[in-house]
């Protein structure tokens, strides 16, 4: 069976959680898709995932289900059973003026360095250059990003909205290794 034959298409609303300092106990800070058939699929456990950009939006997703290894959620609110879904592509059903991204691709490991450069308009922007010399615009503000040092990251190819003025180039949404202090700093920048 080819990879194309294994891919499944889902449509639903993205539910994404942010850290709540007043919530008791362990919090789910990832993202899930609630489909119209009532099924809920966890798509990411990472608080910094690009899927948070689609929170509350209707999306179309291609990918495949999988069984997680180790610790994982098994239920959702109201006793709904969960599935786990590995996203190959995600797109909003409707592109409106406030949509930050119009596509997210599958995440992958990548090694390289962050550097600061100027955008087309002269503004400072974060870029990522791979060990092979390929340069990308960083679409997010990753916790723990340190300019100049070689690092292994988890990267998602993303396409920013054409309705928003963006610097030219290929974009990645990057999650890099971070400390608890980096994460708290990042949360502070997001609030």
Break the chain into its structural domains and give their ranges. 3-95, 107-190
Q: Given this model, what pLDDT does residue 53 score?
A: 95
Q: How far apart are CA 46 and CA 52, in angstroms?
A: 9
Q: Is the pTM of this model over 0.75?
A: yes
Q: Given this model, what pLDDT does residue 76 score?
A: 64
Residue corresponding to tokens 């362990």: 26
- The one-digit pLDDT tens for each residue of the chain (191 residues) are 444 446 899 999 999 988 888 888 888 888 999 998 889 999 998 899 999 999 999 999 999 998 888 766 665 666 567 889 999 999 999 999 899 999 999 999 999 999 998 777 778 889 999 999 999 999 999 999 999 899 999 999 999 998 877 778 899 999 998 888 888 888 888 76
How is residue 48 written in tokens? 């910094």
Q: How far apart are CA 128 and CA 184, in angstroms?
A: 23
Residue 77 DSSP SS3: helix
Cβ neighbours around 127 below 10 Å, total: 20
Q: Is the domain covering 107-190 a CATH 1.20.1080 domain?
A: no
C-alpha angle 52-54-57 in degrees, rounded to nearest 5: 140
* Same fold? 3-95, 107-190: yes
Closest of 100, 98, 69, 68 to residue 84, by C-alpha: 68
How is residue 122 written in tokens? 């002269």
Q: Given this model, what pLDDT does residue 41 score?
A: 94
DSSP 98: T
Answer CATH for 3-95 from 2.40.50, 2.60.40, 1.10.760, 3.40.50: 2.40.50
Q: Given this model, what pLDDT does residue 85 score?
A: 95
Under 8 Å CB-to-CB from 86, ≥6 apart: which residues?
43, 63, 64, 65, 66, 106
Q: How far apart are CA 158 and CA 90, in angstroms?
A: 10
């Amino acid at each position: 069976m080819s990879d194309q034959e294994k891919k499944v298409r889902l449509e639903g609303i993205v539910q994404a959680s942010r850290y709540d300092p007043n919530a008791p106990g362990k919090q789910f800070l990832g993202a899930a898709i609630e489909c119209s058939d009532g099924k809920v699929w966890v798509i990411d456990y990472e608080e910094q995932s690009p899927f948070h950009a689609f929170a509350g939006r209707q999306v179309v997703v291609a990918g495949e289900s999988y069984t997680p290894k180790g610790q994982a959620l098994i239920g959702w609110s109201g006793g709904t059973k969960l599935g786990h879904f590995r996203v190959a592509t995600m797109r909003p059903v409707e592109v409106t003026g406030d949509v930050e991204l119009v596509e997210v691709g599958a995440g992958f490991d990548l090694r390289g360095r962050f550097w600061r450069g100027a955008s087309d308009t002269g503004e400072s922007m974060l870029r990522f250059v791979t060990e092979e010399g390929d340069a990308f615009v960083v679409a997010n503000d990753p916790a723990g990003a340190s300019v100049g040092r070689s690092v292994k990251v988890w990267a998602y190819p993303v396409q920013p909205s054409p309705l928003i003025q963006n610097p030219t180039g290929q974009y990645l949404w990057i999650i890099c290794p971070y400390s608890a202090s980096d994460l708290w700093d990042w949360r502070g920048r997001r609030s």
